[in-house]
Amino acid sequence: MVILSTVLIPAGIAAGLYLIRKQREYSWGWVHKQHDLRGKIFIVTGANTGLGFETTRGLVKRGATVILACRNLRKANEAIEKIKAEFKSGEMIAMELDLANFDSIRKFVKEIKEKVPKFDCLINNAGLAVQDEQLTADGIELHTGTNHIGPFMLTNLLMDDIKRNNARVVIVSSKMHERATVDFETFGKYSPKPAGERSNHLYNNSKLMNFYFAKELYKRGIDVHVCCPGLCNTDFFRDYDPKFYHYVLFSPVILFMLRSAEQGSQNILFCALENVNTDDQNPDKSYIIYDCKQHKSKIDLSDDVSEKLWIESAKLCGIIKEIH
């Protein structure tokens, strides 16, 4: 009896939990295909850590050349060293890009046009969430500025190259876009949390903007793919400083929902590498990739909003004369 209660029952529970976890991992999907990416060039923003790092790893493993577009070159070079120690294939180049700074975006675009005018895929991965009111170098609310305006400006300034090369654009959004709004009254400005709200509306809203942005790119004939990587164990929560009791409280979420960065990055790799027939399955252009499968977004993307967002975003970053 003692053995039953002290050994067998806990062991049974552990085995059961392990099996459920494995089943969950299986359902999250994986890009198993090897894909020979020798000679292909990918630009990955925020490639030094988290999902961007794992995406870079997955590409380099398959022989690709990856430009690591990072705001900190030291961190980018450390990431390169780590991946180099693991794989002999591929090539990596670090380039400086701060998406929360217009000058930096322009400098990066100039450098790309000079050094790598022919690339195959731009992966807009970098993004963040913070707790308090913060602004970009140009005075834009930080979530909108980094998660939407930065990638919007970058992609548009590279538009000629993207079109000429028929390059694919990947946008890392989030399912958080499902409960969000684009409020043009406060667009680009900080707005406090609605009363009683605990989650980060500014982050949610920026991820909805990603979606509208993708829709407009899609309408312009760009080969664009949007994904949600799922809840992943990365540096993303660095501003949230979790306490011990949070881990206890959220242990079921961690056990059944939290993916490794490598697992989550499969969704980004899927968008970058697989042939997703978006037209056939999504005539209304509101698909999202998650669990390495195509899903229809739960929200309806209005053309009025996506068109207005396109114009207002171009105005906000001062590229209205440069876009088509």
Ligand X SMILES: *[C@@H]1O[C@H](CO)[C@@H](O)[C@H](O)[C@H]1NC(C)=O
Residues carrying an active site annotation: 203
Among 197, 241, 280, 300, binds ligand X (CB under 6 A): 197
The size of the interface with ligand NAP (CB under 6 A), counted in residues, is: 29
* Closest to 127 in 3D by CA, of 152, 90, 164: 152
> How far apart (Å, rounded) are the C-alpha atoms in residues 184 and 121?
31
| Residues facing residue 260 across a β-bridge | 233
For ligand NAP, which residue of 96, 120, 223, 235 counts as binding (CB under 6 A)?
235
Assess contact for 112 and 167: CB atoms under 8 A.
Answer: no
From ligand X, ligand NAP, none, interface partner of 97 (C-beta below 5 to 8 A by class): ligand NAP
Exposure b/e, 90-107, CB count within 10 A at least 16 = b: bebebbebbbbbbebbee
Q: Does 179 bind ligand X (CB under 6 A)?
A: yes
Contact call for residue 96 and ligand NAP (CB under 6 A)? no
Selection from 265, 235, 258, 287 nearest residue 127 by Cα: 235
Tell which residue, 156, 178, 205, 189, has the closest CA to residue 311: 156
- Output the smallest distance, CB 250 to ligand NAP, in A: 13
Q: Does 129 bind ligand X (CB under 6 A)?
A: no
In the chain, the amino acid numbered 65 is T
Candidates 9-17, 84-92, 223-231, 300-308 — which segment interacts with ligand NAP by CB under 6 A? 223-231
- The radius of gyration computed from the CA coordinates of the chain, to the nearest angstrom, equals 20
Residues 6 or more apart in contact with residue 227 via CB below 8 angstroms: 170, 171, 172, 173, 267, 268, 270, 271, 288, 289, 290
Which of residues 66, 172, 180, 182 is near ligand NAP by CB under 6 A? 172
Out of ligand NAP, ligand X, none, which partner does residue 204 contact, by CB within 5 to 8 A per kind? Answer: ligand X
Find the binder of ligand NAP among 174, 204, 306, 313 (CB under 6 A). 174
DSSP β-ladder status, 293-296 and 287-290: antiparallel
319 binds ligand NAP (CB under 6 A): no
- Is there binding between residue 51 and ligand NAP (CB under 6 A)? yes
CA 320 and chain centroid, separation: 25
> Which member of 94, 100, 309, 316 binds ligand NAP (CB under 6 A)?
100
Q: Is 228 in the site for ligand X (CB under 6 A)?
A: no
Q: If binding is defined by CB under 6 A, does position 49 make contact with ligand NAP?
A: yes
Residue of the chain from 40, 62, 71, 285 that contacts ligand NAP (CB under 6 A): 71
Closest CA to 214 of 118, 161, 148, 266: 148
Q: Which of ligand NAP, ligand X, none lies near 125, with the C-beta cut-off 5 to 8 A by kind?
A: ligand NAP
Judged by CB under 6 A, which of 31, 48, 158, 211 binds ligand NAP?
A: 48
Residues that bind ligand NAP (CB under 6 A): 45-46, 48-52, 70-72, 75, 97-100, 125-128, 146, 172, 174, 228-229, 231-232, 234-236
